[in-house]
Amino acid sequence: MRAVARTAAAAATALALLLTGCGGGGGGQTDGRITLRFQSLAWQKESVDANKQLVKEWNASHPDVRVQYVQGSWDSVHDQLLTSFEGDEAPDVIHDASDDLADFAYGGYLADLRTLLPGRLTADIPRQSWRTSTFDGGVYGVPFLQEPRVLIANTKILKASGVRVPTPEKPWSWPEFGRVTKKLTGKGRYGVAWPLKEPVSVTLNLGLSAGGELFHRGADGKVTLAMDDGDLVVPRTIHEQVNTDHSAARTALGMGGGDALPGLFGGKYAMVPLGFSYRQQVVEQAPEGFEWTVLPAPAGSAGPAQGVSPQTLSVAEDSPHKKEAVEFIDFLLRPANMVRLAKGDWMLPTGKEALADPSLHTPDRGWATGVALAGGLRSAPAQSVRGYPEWKDKVATPAYQEYYSGAIDAAELRKRLVEDGNRVLARYQR
């Protein structure tokens, strides 16, 4: 889910839903014309404009199936959707993220799309992307936008240091990354800032590169937590940077991603690990003359693998017009349209044809680096785990925060994540 959502959109959600007259479990039909409601979570101007323009183009060419655009918000989407599902007021077409779908899928609120999706779309999106929205054998969302985590670096500091500059083909290893951040650290400057206000997804997703899994599904289908050496590579690297090498800024641990950008611009941090879409904020906010570059995240024993939770488009189970809703999704995700949506959100498309578009392979603003990382993107470790939200909020977030700050050691981190975590998951799997 987008970590950089804007709270102002939350108020717009309630107003939009009121104005569009939610009710009756999805779109309606008057005078022989079907009306579908499409709730979008786009919030950046470019993205909102792209979505609204595509809705306009659909309506111009489909007079019998009108789509009504409804503005939603990343800040409140889970609770808002749950309320709309239970009140039989859900939009027909639902924009969300794959890591938010599990409870809705298992709860019967989303339509299984397997028999509805056109062959073109299923073939164009890679299998590893489809896994992010597959629960208990059913497909409950179409993954269409994704973003790797990258390093946004101050080019002048990087060049002056003389360190090897990584490429997608030859990224830094995690040990090399630790050595580099020490070398980039100097008077009044840290080699890296880790904005870890929400540390769980960052840690787990980057941990895939070191072979970390943490969640293990048994033959009986039940999931348990187990922490091995691969799961500790990323946490230990960050812990040592903050508490031993002092090459990572302690004050950044409580920040959101955008909060760290002023320090990057001002030379306080040489690098900041961020989602790919943060490039837009760099372009908009960086002072004149600031030189920056996009580098691949470090890689471990599993190569440049990363977990992702793509943005998705789903259909409400109660929608009376599922066929038409899927046809609209297919239109939105035609390769040329998927490119438009990706550029509007500064993210990568999942579709193979869209990803091959020459306009995404330019070195300008790091687009080519992001595209080169797309092949290593995998389903985030806990996508289909029931009870994950509670584990994340009540167990993992405080445990990682205390470990990164130096308040607890690795043994205590393991105990909390695994022992306390398995008690949480057990309640959901009885």
Residue 2 has pLDDT above 80, yes or no: no
In DSSP terms, which residues pair with 376 in a beta bridge?
A: none
Residue 7 has pLDDT above 70, yes or no: no
pLDDT in tens, 114-169: 999 999 999 999 999 999 999 989 999 999 999 999 999 999 999 999 999 999 99
Predicted confidence band at 19 (pLDDT cuts at 50, 70, 90)? very low
Predicted confidence band at 22 (pLDDT cuts at 50, 70, 90)? very low
pLDDT in tens, 204-234: 999 999 999 999 999 998 999 999 999 999 9
Q: What's the rounded Cα separation, in Å, for the pair 393 and 242?
A: 23
Per DSSP bridges, beta strands 142-146 and 311-315 are antiparallel
Closest CA to 191 of 248, 250, 243, 151: 248
Residue 4 has pLDDT above 70, yes or no: no
Q: What's the rounded Cα separation, in Å, for the pair 229 and 22?
A: 50
Predicted confidence band at 10 (pLDDT cuts at 50, 70, 90)? very low
Give the mean model confidence (pLDDT) for residues 396-403: 98
pLDDT in tens, 337-392: 999 999 999 999 999 999 999 999 999 999 999 999 999 999 998 888 888 889 99
Give me the pLDDT at residue 352, please.
98
Give the mean model confidence (pLDDT) for residues 279-286: 96
Please enumerate in sequence order all residues whose Cβ is within 8 A of that of 197, keeping only pairs 6 or more positions apart, or say none: 253, 254, 255, 256, 259
The terminus-to-terminus CA distance of the chain in angstroms comes to 28
Give the mean model confidence (pLDDT) for residues 170-180: 98
Q: DSSP label at 165?
A: P
H or E segment and range at residue 281: helix 279-285
